[in-house]
Amino acid sequence: MDTENRGREQNVGYFKLGSVMVGLVIPFVAVVGGVAFLGRSEIMVAGMPIVYFWVFLWFVLTSVCLAASWYFFDRKDFEDEEETEERRGEGEV
């Protein structure tokens, strides 16, 4: 019984530093830093101020960062859960 609980505690990792950095910190710093840096610029991109272009660009890039975060850091956790669920369905666990 004690070994089962230890195994579960090791698999429960709510936050991984790399995952949080890639998925949240990089997009946040890029948007806030870009707005601060480009806020007074009069450069136009595709007919809109560059600051608006920067923010809209980061809508897409944030999704890319979140996907990369999941792929590189969190995917293994979900694969392990799927394998455990399959074993339970077969009656092995």
pLDDT above 90 (res 27): yes
The secondary structure of 49-80 as a DSSP string is EHHHHHHHHHHHHHHHHHHHHIIIIIHHHHHH
Would residue 55 count as lying in a domain?
yes
| Residue 64 in domain | yes
- Confidence category of residue 22, pLDDT binned at 50, 70, 90: confident
Q: Is residue 5, in this structure, part of any structural domain at all? A: no
What's the pLDDT score for residue 74?
79
Query: Which has more confidence, 74 or 92?
Result: 74
Asked whether residue 82 is assigned to any structural domain, the reply reads: no
- The 10s digit of each residue's pLDDT in 41-77 is 999 999 999 999 999 999 999 999 999 988 888 777 7
Total number of domains in the chain:
1
Residue 93 covered by a domain: no
pLDDT in the model for residue 1: 45
Q: What is the pTM of this model?
A: 0.65
Helix or strand holding residue 83 (H, E)? helix 75-90
31: in domain: yes
- Find the domain containing 20 and state its range: 15-74
